[in-house]
Amino acid sequence: MADHEINAGFMPLFDSAVLIAAREIGFAAREGIELKLSRETSWANIRDRIAIGHFDVAHMLGPMPLACNLGLTPLASDTIVPFSLGLGGNCVTVSNTVWEGMAAHGARPDLDPLRNGAALRELIRARAAIEATPLRFAVTHPHSGHNYELRYWLAGCGIDPSREVEIVIVPPPFMADALAAGRIDGYCVGEPWNSVSVVAGKGHIATVKAAIWRASPEKVLGVRKSWARDHPDALSALLRALHHAARWCQDPSNHHELTALMVQPGFLGQPAEIQMRALTGLLDVGGGVLRQVDDFFLPFDKAANFPWKSHALWFYTQMVRWGEIRHTPTNAAIARDCYRPDLYRAALKPLGVALPGANAKVEGALTSATPVGSSGAGLVLGPDGFFDGRIFDPDQIDTYIAAQAGGLSPLP
Amino acid sequence: MATPSLSVLVIDENRIRAAIIEAGLREAGHSHVTLVHDVTGIAMRIAEIVPDVIVIDLENPNRDMLENMFQLSRAVKRPIAMFVDRSDKASIEAAVEAGVSAYVVDGLKQERVKPILDMAISRFNAFSRMARELEEARSELEGRKVIDRAKGILMKLRGLSEEEAYTLLRKTAMNQNRKLADVAQGLVTAADLLGPEGR
């Protein structure tokens, strides 16, 4: 008989792996948790079912709990983030036609965000000159890492994401079909939904999240605040289970077992070979050209599970940048309070886990892997740079927001 | 009766369920009902229809896309909000449990739309019940078939009458605290594994 019963929702994406492994490999049971998983079809459903109490916790897009707490979505309930489910994992994929156009302007199959972004800009300018319809890119959700990193990349390359392209919402499993059918020209989504287009011969990967912002936040564990308050022991037990599950997912000797688990139709339902690309970072970027991407997806390493307040605040600056929310001290505080490293520390300290010394860091400051001062065993962070060399200091949020306020922020 | 001028758009990939909802709306006096099963090109349809109320099934993976579109006044002529407001918790729960959600144009009075949502909830529930009963009937039929086969095997191998074979199966099921159909299935599987000579 389990001590705690916890209901969790997830979307069929590879980065739900930590949650699924926690149940299926037995880490949750070992902590006395009966973890009930429900596969969902939309983030809106996850939000609604957290709000009415069907779910206590869920696999969520990193900015989604912020959007809930800032009142940007219907039916939102107060949601907190005590654990991150991984770093990285996304790519920007374009159609073969767009890739040919980019290649004609100097793009190379090396995922370089600067060169390929400049090529995309030149293609867009050339199309505008002949009054062609703007390119249409898809992301999975307005309040997603995908939306903000795509916009950050485009803007950083001198492309106005609000005027020079159209950005629409398409559910991840439909991306490849929409691209093949010509309904969209490109998209930013997590794996395996980029490789699915590459395998079908319908798309090229132009760049990756890990190149736009290395070791950057993606999915998180969203928890209904009132549930966390009423069930502190269950939450701590769950965070310990997720910690062990994340370490298990990172270990290459478990990757075959992990992909065999995720291949089940009730979880991800995509072939193991395609899933393996996210785990190894060895991507076919299109037409059989292979690229090794360092830190492509990190379910555990580099403090991947720590809910950095600087991650929440960076998402917040992008919400301000694209006009979703007004920057006020109150709103900034809501964003900062949404991510809860204190709960992470409280649950994992007794395990002797390596914990960062601070709750926020200057993003983009580390140019190489750096051992950091921490309690417990060795912890390595970084590199964590943005492709344009900019730095986000969470203590200088007003300056950062002011600098990006012009909409376009050309490269320095 | 509700004012018949409200335009209702039902987005549901399940054609039968959509038809059931439509029938309910028409019975309630709503003549402007449009059904959409495929969301391709939905923005243009919405611009044509100019719906006051949009009903969507929760299984639809395009909910995120639709919600985003409702929030952009460019795609939709009038801003559309989630109908059930936070104060009406019972309605929200009933809707999510039934598997339906509804969106309405801003400013539309709640009492004009609530009957529509209530009707959608009850029809969604009725549809689920119907689907469940159909599934139960199907599995019962299959169970009966497998029990007949198991009886046949026992009759042949152990020389029992039909009634004795049935009693033996039932007793075994009770002793092992299992379903009769499961015991029968086990026997049929075993007989299949042993091959024709096992029969």
Q: Give the Cα separation of B154 and B166 in Å (integer).
A: 9
Q: pLDDT band at A86, cuts 50/70/90?
A: very high
For A327-366, the DSSP string reads --HHHHHHHHHHB-HHHHHHHHGGGT--EES-S---BT--
Q: Which of B65, B83, B92 to mutate to test the interface with A (most CBs of A within 10 A)?
A: B65
- Predicted local distance difference test score (pLDDT) of residue A411: 43
- Predicted local distance difference test score (pLDDT) of residue B196: 65
Q: What was the ipTM of the complex prediction? A: 0.88
Q: pLDDT band at B77, cuts 50/70/90?
A: low
Q: Which of A108-122, A317-331, A367-381 has the lowest mean pLDDT?
A: A367-381
Q: Are residues B49 and B111 in the same domain?
A: yes
Which of B96, B112, B132 marks a domain boundary?
Answer: B132
In a domain, B2, yes or no: no
CATH of residue B29's domain is 3.40.50
Q: Are residues B13 and B87 in the same domain?
A: yes
Q: pLDDT band at A409, cuts 50/70/90?
A: very low
Residues A279, A285, A289, A294: is their CA dihedral positive or negative? negative
- Predicted local distance difference test score (pLDDT) of residue B82: 64
Q: Which of A169, A183, A184, A187 to mutate to test the interface with B (most CBs of B within 10 A)?
A: A169
In percent, how much of chain A has pLDDT > 90? 89
pLDDT tops 60 at residue A197: yes
User: Domains in chain A, start-ordered, CATH in brackets?
Assistant: 4-87+216-271+301-350 (3.40.190.10), 90-212 (3.40.190.10), 355-404 (no CATH)
Q: Are residues B99 and B188 in the same domain?
A: no
Number of structural domains (chain B) is 2
Which residue does chain B place closest to A48, by CA atoms?
B96
Q: Are residues B95 and B120 in the same domain?
A: yes
Average pLDDT (A367-392) is 83
Of A42, A44, A75, the CB nearest to B92: A75
Q: Are residues B25 and B57 in the same domain?
A: yes
Average pLDDT (B148-163) is 93
Encoding tokens for residue B177?
Answer: 């605290």
CATH of residue B152's domain is 1.10.10.10
In a domain, B150, yes or no: yes
Which of B114, B132, B150 marks a domain boundary?
Answer: B132
Looking at the DSSP assignment, which residues form a beta bridge with residue B103?
B54, B82
Average pLDDT (B139-166) is 92
A-chain CB neighbours of B96 within 8 Å are 48-49, 52, 54
A-chain CB neighbours of B62 within 8 Å are 42, 171
Q: Are residues B115 and B182 in the same domain?
A: no
Q: Give the Cα separation of A284 and A289 in Å (integer).
A: 5
Of B61, B62, B82, the CB nearest to A75: B82
User: What are the strands, taking DSSP E only, across A148-196?
Assistant: 165-169, 186-190
Contact A48/B89, CB-based, under 8 Å? Answer: no
Average pLDDT (A394-407) is 88
CB A293 within 8 A of CB A281: yes
Q: Give the Cα separation of A364 and A387 in Å (integer).
A: 9
How many interface pairs between A and B have CB atoms less than 8 angstroms apart? 56
The whole domain housing B173 covers 135-198
pLDDT tops 70 at residue B198: no
Which residue does chain A place closest to B60, by CA atoms?
A41
Distances A3 to A34, A99, A347 between C-alpha atoms, Å? 8, 54, 16
Average pLDDT (A383-403) is 94
